[in-house]
């Protein structure tokens, strides 16, 4: 969003709160308590914000250290962005946020949010920017209205948001992350920024149905700004006991700088998906299916789809979950004049392995294009505060020559990831990851790399 839009949104939020400020009259601070039942005015401190508005303050932060052996690094998240993370680096961020909502007499609400993110990466060497890269900028800056009980059909049947805001579609297969990181901003892995540079979202949700229309303009890196933006229409319907099944369909129309992203400029995207636990007698069995079609004449004509099945043993100690997922992202066929290389769009992180596939391959050299993956995952929950698991990936190519002119083999890598998440208390979460990958002949033919990859990560997250 340019500065004039940010200024207009800020003024709108200020004007929104101004009537409540004028309505207040000067009054003494409410008394505190010194522990002996006596008033202590010095301990009773006011925020100074209008009391007729519901305020919420959040503070998030994260710090991580990352180590690679025999790395094969590029930036699959922002193709064309030159970056050279070292074999050992450290990154962190802080994100303060203030949200507000004001309920009017009809029970509808006006709400807004403002936040900022500061990130820094230490020990990486992106040559154009120096040894350490940092940035500080506005993240959320939005205002909205929801209907509350003022419209028949349920709570908040109508909801409208405009400004710098987040939006996600399903489990992030196509749309989730509205801002780029790494490069000149730092923070390649932490993913603290998710808000779009500009978003306008309208939602109608009567009962089990939801209809959304949206316009999204991604906040891309300055050195890799392709002008990518879109508008779309999304429909979802839930059914079954406990809304155990979701059926959804989405259409999107894209635009971009034609000289940088010819396949994305004018692109039509069609998406269908379902998440379901279809058997009431076997609620632990679940399935996911998603399909995407990208159509833009010869500039882009591609498909992607994924199918996953899982079973959670809820009555067994540690509640193990076993799942298998197949994912296909079409690659370009050099024998045809059309471009069939699937565009990953604005995917995001839903869970480990989704939708950055693999802590080595998907995070550091393999994008969701010209890729076929098989994932077997075992997840356990030993305690309420500890969970972890193992993931086994087999990566192959759809069209080897699209991976490199000398590549004839489809095998990219076999990767094993181990992860542990420990919620130390209500504020701190610690994540540990160890990963190992054996490069296939496709990697050897494209880069000459034959050594195995090894990777380790320790990450601490704080949320208030």
**Each residue of 245-287: pLDDT tens digit?**
999 999 999 999 999 999 999 999 999 999 999 999 999 999 9
**Length reported for the chain:** 464
DSSP annotation of 30: P
What Rg value do the Cα atoms of the chain yield, rounded? 24
pLDDT beneath 70: ranges in the chain:
1-47, 84, 124-131
Quick one: pLDDT at residue 362? 93
What are the phi and psi torsion angles at 39 (to 5°)? Answer: -65, 140
* 457 beta partners: 66, 433
User: In this structure, how many other beta carbons lie within 10 angstroms of the beta carbon of residue 29?
Assistant: 11
Could you tell me where the DSSP H helices lie in 287-401? 363-364
- CB of 286 closer than 8 Å to CB of 310: yes
Which residues lie closer than 8 Å to 313 by C-beta, 6 or more apart?
A: 284, 319, 320, 321
Could you tell me where the DSSP H helices lie in 334-382? 363-364
Which residues lie closer than 8 Å to 282 by C-beta, 6 or more apart?
A: none
Residues 170, 175, 179, 180, CA torsion sign: positive
> Quick check: bond before 355 cis, omega within 30?
yes
Global pTM exceeds 0.85:
yes
Helix and strand numbers (H, E) in the chain are: 3, 18
- CB of 75 closer than 8 Å to CB of 457: no
Quick one: pLDDT at residue 44? 52
* 289 beta partners: 274, 307
Quick one: pLDDT at residue 31? 40
* Residue 122: C-alpha distances to residues 117, 265, 282, 285 (Å): 17, 36, 49, 44
Q: How far apart are the C-alpha atoms of 156 and 237, rounded to whole Å?
A: 16
Quick one: pLDDT at residue 75? 79
- CB of 274 closer than 8 Å to CB of 288: yes
Which residues lie closer than 8 Å to 258 by C-beta, 6 or more apart?
A: 265
């Amino acid at each position: 969003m340019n500065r004039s839009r940010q200024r207009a949104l800020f003024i709108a939020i200020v004007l929104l709160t101004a009537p409540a400020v004028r309505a207040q009259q000067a009054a003494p601070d409410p008394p505190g308590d010194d522990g002996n039942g006596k008033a202590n005015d010095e301990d009773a401190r006011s925020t100074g914000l209008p009391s007729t508005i519901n305020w919420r303050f959040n503070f998030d932060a994260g710090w991580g250290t990352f180590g690679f052996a025999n790395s094969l690094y590029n930036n699959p998240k922002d193709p064309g962005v030159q970056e050279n993370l070292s074999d050992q680096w450290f990154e962190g961020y802080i994100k303060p946020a203030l949200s507000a909502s004001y309920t009017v007499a009809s029970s509808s609400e006006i709400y807004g949010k403002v936040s900022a993110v500061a990130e820094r990466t230490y020990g990486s060497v992106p040559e154009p920017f120096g040894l350490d890269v940092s940035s500080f900028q506005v993240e959320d800056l939005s205002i909205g209205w929801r209907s509350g009980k003022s419209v028949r059909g349920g709570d908040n049947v109508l909801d409208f948001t405009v400004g710098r805001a987040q939006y996600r579609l399903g489990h992030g297969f196509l749309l989730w992350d509205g801002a780029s990181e790494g490069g000149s901003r730092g923070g390649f892995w932490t993913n603290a920024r998710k808000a779009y540079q500009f978003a306008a979202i309208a939602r109608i949700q009567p009962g089990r149905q939801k209809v959304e229309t949206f316009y999204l303009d991604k906040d891309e890196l300055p050195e890799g700004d392709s002008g990518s933006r879109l508008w779309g229409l999304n429909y979802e319907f839930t059914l079954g006991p406990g809304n155990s099944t979701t059926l959804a369909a989405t259409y999107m129309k894209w635009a971009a700088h034609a000289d940088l992203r010819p396949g994305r400029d004018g692109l039509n995207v069609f998406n269908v998906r379902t998440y379901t636990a279809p058997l009431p007698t076997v609620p632990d069995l679940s399935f996911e299916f998603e399909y995407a079609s990208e159509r833009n004449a010869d500039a882009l004509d591609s498909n992607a789809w994924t199918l996953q099945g899982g079973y959670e043993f809820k009555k067994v100690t540690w509640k193990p979950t076993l799942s298998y997922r197949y994912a296909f992202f079409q690659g370009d066929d050099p024998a045809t004049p059309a471009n069939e290389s699937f565009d990953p769009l604005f995917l995001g992180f839903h869970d480990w392995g989704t939708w950055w596939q693999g802590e080595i391959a998907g995070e550091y050299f393999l994008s969701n294009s010209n890729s076929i993956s098989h994932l077997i995952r075992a997840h356990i929950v030993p305690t309420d505060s500890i969970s972890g698991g193992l993931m086994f990936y087999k990566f192959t190519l759809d069209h080897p020559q699209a991976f490199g002119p000398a590549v004839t083999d489809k095998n990219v890598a076999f990767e094993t990831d181990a992860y542990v998440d420990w919620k130390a208390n209500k504020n701190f979460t610690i994540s540990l990851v160890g990963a190992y990958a054996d490069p296939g002949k496709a990697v050897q033919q494209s880069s000459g790399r034959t050594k195995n990859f090894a990777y380790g990560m320790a990450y601490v997250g704080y949320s208030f």
